[in-house]
A and B are shown apart, each in its own frame.
Chain A
């Protein structure tokens, strides 16, 4: 009994309240999304809202149970839990299709009679715990290669197993741990390089269809090279503050570019290679600057520039060879390169229409016509946010985003008040996972991200994902509550 009392005081009730608000809003949205005028009982077991009600009740029970368990077990059993989940993932790949049916091309659901769940949900939690365990070891240092390699492996194994189940969306979530690594000491440049790579990729792909010359130059590559050179200038001018050298550099680049355009009158030049040549020349220039100034900061930008140039030239190839055709189309739709209103573009277009039609105040609860007409596919799972947008308008959707924001900020606060590294690492993992889900899902619904089928935390229909997020959150709450237990 004494533990129960202490839990009541130590529990972070603010988080619990946000959690309950989100779950209930999700439930009402599911009711709205699958609402049919003929059958209107929110508790009807045959309907999705009725089923979700059961999932919510059981999730509350699950959360309660997690709070009553000893906080130490998460630390003790992290590896065992992780191992068990890996076995489950492997089982899912090889299990007969009576247990693991093929659902829309992916084999990721274990179906046992009326109950079905996705082991990938557990994999997120298990990986978060095992990372916390590994990184809380006494002499762990993120900058040590010896420590970094097993760390990468711990993420890579479940990641690739989930890829093998053809659940690319769930697998992408594992990228979110980078945010946690950043907090734990990973160099910030890694995140910047990630953003830089995405920008270059988008530029190359988006403008690759515009041929500039019969020789085969494309606007995409030339723009990418331009971005690289510009980055060098900005770095030198604003960061290193070698103002004179930077201006000479800019002048030189303009002169060479102009000369090559002139030269093109007599000799046919492929501008793609002219642009590449410019990048190489500029790299040589910075090496000279560095040698004369005995200033070691340019190594960074030179190696990043060369890698970026190589990446830009291979982007096209990566895009066409590494991605499957439906993934290519999704990205092209996002970049407005293809309209495809029947196929991949249909979802996003209908989703935007549904949200757009909500206006400022929305059409009112259960009055959304777009979702009723079943124009938006997956409207109670991945596209649930559409219903919020249509029925509750700008203010309703903003409110939901604000509550998510408050929850994440609260979790950041919780994370920072942990004294144990284990707890802090786990807390940051939770923040990262929730944030990535939110970013990818809402981004998709709003047409800012490619269509990647992952659920919106606490909102989307389905027991598997609701239970997964509940476990993720309540393990953190239990760990957080232990900070008082230790004092007393």
Chain B
């Protein structure tokens, strides 16, 4: 069984093993005894890599007004091994802290569960984010406390107290991110939300490294090879936003005391001019040492100020949805410009009308008067145009066509080629959804009638609503709304499934809303505006007041959606806000000061805190 010649091969294997181990021993000999390079190098020196932090990119608005910049901040670090004869009381006095804080902090630093990379030989952060005034006094007495060092960092500073949701904030990088991304080290700052998050890689710049030599006792001996191997840090790039800060400030002012949001878009470019969400907070609350305290306060506020309602809250669009419906029904052949339906006002069935007007009405009047029966009949006509067919197949096909056409306005999905990180989908219910609710054949046009007037299961975000207003203003396309004023963002063009010819009559109807309809009171002399009010029933109290619209007709400059939660009629709250914003943006100033003050003073929710 045993092959004798092969048996000899064990000697070959033994020789291979011995030769390799022999080479290792020779190598050890050369490293440890023969060469003095490593020996001397290590006996006296070791490298200390010191990080050079880059300054973060600045943020400007569209008119190059500076919004966000940096201010210096200072960390106090310590190397535990180097601390000698510390006069704790004097130290606490210099640092303006009490002794118990000092003791706690040292215990925290030494706790390896909380401080993973702890070593008593390397710098550990003792206090962070001291401002320049604090440090000026501390620096004078620093020489008395060997082992403690001052390290320079930068913090964010804000020129305006608004736009917190758009700008976002920076905070210490999470442990998880450190594990997945080699760039970050514990204690580094990173964009947490808003554009600080989306454009983190652009804004942050690149860290540099300074290689220092130190002896075995930890004392710095100077630069390694006189700095030849150092890498300078590279400052982050600046970012220009699409926001118009004047408009943003006005929007935030108008929303005082109310819950809701405003989104304003320049239709031809998709650039977001203003994005307001109230309750809001001053972005400087989330900077520096008070960040964590303020953050948790904001997080636990029942009115959820941290949530960006412009992109993360979803509402039924109510009557504003009738504009989109009017377009979609024309495209699907449910109605045309001469179609008329009768309206019996409050006596209409199955949906009553909330306005009193003549009957029967055509499309123009139906938009102007927000006639519910008209839009119910138009919806019915679109989805039932081929009857129901076997197992309702024809009806379902037409329903899906209706849904796809609606969704081509950017509804029911995240705008994923946008640079807005916090978004929710909204909802345009799918065929499958109703199949699950009512069974395969259990639902018909009458079952889902509330969709026709923008109530029920349909949900949209203010961003989507403003975007659809932009699509109407452009007569058939929208450019993904975005915040970075960079030409490449403007190439993200999306065409709606509704042809251009159907838009004219709807736009005419929107004009009439201001002339004869629900927004009469919000007219501006000499400036034609287009819009639609919405008064949305909801389960949580008073109706939501909604408005969407744009101006002017040719080369539309601004499209806006306004939502004021639980306020009442769309014409009373949202429409004037729209009107004031248009005035500000197109005329450059507000002439109707009284109106502005009146709207600002309205408080619809007493729980909203000013921060």
Contact = CB atoms under 8 A, between A and B. Distances in A.
22 contacts: A38-B120, A46-B112, A179-B16, A182-B13, A188-B12, A341-B47, A342-B229, A352-B31, A353-B42, A355-B32, A356-B32, A359-B32, A359-B33, A370-B42, A374-B121, A398-B25, A398-B28, A405-B17, A409-B14, A409-B17, A419-B2, A435-B17
Considering the complex of A and B, which 10 residue pairs feature the smallest CB-CB distances, nearest first?
A: A356-B38, A357-B42, A353-B42, A394-B32, A369-B216, A356-B31, A446-B27, A373-B121, A405-B21, A356-B39
A56 to B, nearest CB: 22
A102 B218 CA distance: 34
B13 A179 contact: yes
Interface in A429-481: 431, 435, 438-439, 442-443, 446-448
B180 interface: yes
A295 B23 CA distance: 39
Contacts of A416: 7, 10
A415 B2 CA distance: 12
A454 to B, nearest CB: 16
Interface string A250-267: 000000000000000000
Contacts of B7: 416
A358 interface: yes
Interface string A364-376: 0000011011110
A193 B49 CA distance: 43
B1 interface: yes
Interface string B209-253: 101000010100000000001010000000000000000000000
Interface in A384-405: 389, 393-394, 397-398, 401, 404-405
Interface string B41-81: 11100110100000000000000000000000000000000
Given A353-B38, A353-B42, A373-B218, A360 B21 contact: no
Nearest to B209: A342
B110 interface: yes
Interface in B497-535: none
Interface string A178-206: 01001111001000000000000000000
Contacts of A409: 14, 17
A14 interface: no
B122 interface: yes
A42 interface: no
A81 to B, nearest CB: 25
A412 B13 contact: yes
A372 B28 contact: no
Contacts of A274: none
B10 A412 contact: yes
Contacts of A398: 25, 28
Contact of A448 (B1, B27, B43): B27
A397 to B, nearest CB: 5
A405 B18 contact: yes
A36 B120 contact: yes
A372 B21 contact: no
A306 interface: no
Contacts, number: 130
Interface in B188-216: 209, 211, 216
A183 B11 CA distance: 10
Interface residues of A, number: 57
Contacts of A360: 32-33
Nearest to A102: B180
A408 interface: yes
Contact of B28 (A37, A350, A357, A394): A394
A38 B13 contact: no
Contacts of B295: none
A25 B46 CA distance: 27
Given A342-B49, A370-B46, A394-B33, A356 B41 contact: yes
A375 B10 contact: no
A37 B120 contact: yes
B3 A185 contact: yes
B347 interface: no
A22 interface: no
A421 interface: yes
Interface in A308-357: 341-342, 346, 350, 352-357
B6 A184 contact: yes
B160 interface: no
Contacts of B13: 179, 182-183, 412, 428, 431
Interface in B112-161: 112, 119-122
Contacts of A389: 28, 31-32
Contact of B43 (A184, A357, A394, A412): A357
B108 to A, nearest CB: 14
B35 interface: yes
Most chain B CB within 10 A, of A352, A357, A401, A448, is at A357
A159 B57 CA distance: 47
A442 B17 CA distance: 13
Contacts of A353: 38, 41-42, 46
B179 interface: yes
Contact of B24 (A185, A358, A374, A446): A446
B1 A401 contact: no
A412 B14 contact: yes
Given A354-B42, A373-B121, A373-B122, 16 more contacts: A182-B9, A356-B31, A359-B33, A372-B121, A373-B46, A393-B32, A398-B28, A401-B21, A401-B28, A404-B21, A409-B14, A416-B7, A439-B20, A446-B24, A446-B31, A448-B27
B38 A357 contact: yes
Interface string A153-182: 000000000000000000000000001001
B438 interface: no
B320 to A, nearest CB: 42
A356 B35 contact: yes
A131 to B, nearest CB: 16
Contacts of B2: 419
A416 B35 CA distance: 41
A350 B14 CA distance: 32
B37 interface: yes
Contacts of A370: 42, 46
A413 B9 CA distance: 12
Contacts of A355: 28, 31-32, 38
A352 to B, nearest CB: 6
Contacts of A37: 120
Contacts of B9: 182-183, 188
B532 to A, nearest CB: 47
Contacts of B179: 102-104
A409 B21 CA distance: 12
A342 B211 contact: yes
B110 A38 contact: yes
Nearest to B6: A185
Contacts of B28: 355, 389, 394, 397-398, 401, 446
A374 B42 contact: no
B34 to A, nearest CB: 10
Contacts of A393: 32
B456 to A, nearest CB: 37
B515 to A, nearest CB: 59
Contacts of B3: 185
B24 A442 contact: yes
Nearest to B112: A46
Contacts of A408: 17
B389 to A, nearest CB: 43
A358 B32 CA distance: 6
Interface in A194-240: none
Contacts of B14: 409, 412
A32 to B, nearest CB: 15
Contacts of B18: 405
Nearest to B37: A356
